[in-house]
Amino acid sequence: MQRRQVLATVTALLPLAGCASPGSPTDETTTTEPTTTSERPPNGPKYEGAEIDVLDVQCASGDETAATASIVDATVVVEETIIGNNGCYVAKLDTIVHDEAESELHVTVRSVEERAEDEACIECITAIDYEVTARFRGGHPDRVVVAHGRDGGDVREVASIPLETTTS
């Protein structure tokens, strides 16, 4: 019996639904414009490509060094150390994304094992020093965010570096 009363009440009120909602014509409308921390020209820096170079591989304590990043002639240069599980690990550029809206360059590097089937690897934790160079046209991003991962494992952010222009 109560279910019929509830249904009758809901049916009677249904035509009034939305009359007192926040979107009704009697309510004030507030519009919020997105805010940005820096005004970027509409034709700002354009990402043109990147490479990674392994600079050195040595047995180490397992600590990563602090990343550095700089701008040299419209090229973002990131230097960092990633850890490998043995002497056959190398640094590979996993992803690189230029977030134009945030003016950030997101660089993800993974340490991966590369060896032939019959190749023996030095058994030690290795420090793999690498350099990523990313080319831009028309400027450069304001910040580089570096992340590391190992052999398909989770990726974690290791550095967020503001960029300043330097000359070579």
The DSSP symbol for 16 reads: G
pLDDT for the residue 62: 67
Give alpha helix (H) positions in 1-41.
Answer: 2-13
Q: Is the pLDDT of residue 39 over 60?
A: no
pLDDT for the residue 44: 80
Q: Is the pLDDT of residue 71 over 60?
A: yes
How far, in Å, CA of 61 to CA of 93, rounded?
23
Query: How would you classify residue 102: left for phi > 0, otherwise alpha for psi between -120 and 50, otherwise beta?
Result: alpha
pLDDT for the residue 4: 41
**In the predicted model, what is the mean pLDDT of residues 48-59?**
93
More confident residue, 64 or 143: 143
Q: Is the pLDDT of residue 33 over 70?
A: no
Residues 6 or more apart in contact with residue 85 via CB below 8 angstroms: 111, 113, 125, 126, 150, 151
Please report which confidence band the pLDDT of residue 38 belongs to, taking 50, 70 and 90 as the band edges. very low
Q: Is the pLDDT of residue 22 over 80?
A: no
Q: Do residues 166 and 72 make contact, with C-beta atoms less than 8 angstroms apart? A: yes
**In the predicted model, what is the mean pLDDT of residues 124-128?**
93
Please report which confidence band the pLDDT of residue 72 belongs to, taking 50, 70 and 90 as the band edges. confident
Give the chain's length: 168
93: β partners: 109
Lowest pLDDT segment from 5-9, 45-49, 108-112: 5-9
Q: Is the pLDDT of residue 75 over 50?
A: yes
**In the predicted model, what is the mean pLDDT of residues 143-159?**
90
113: β partners: 89
The DSSP symbol for 38 reads: S
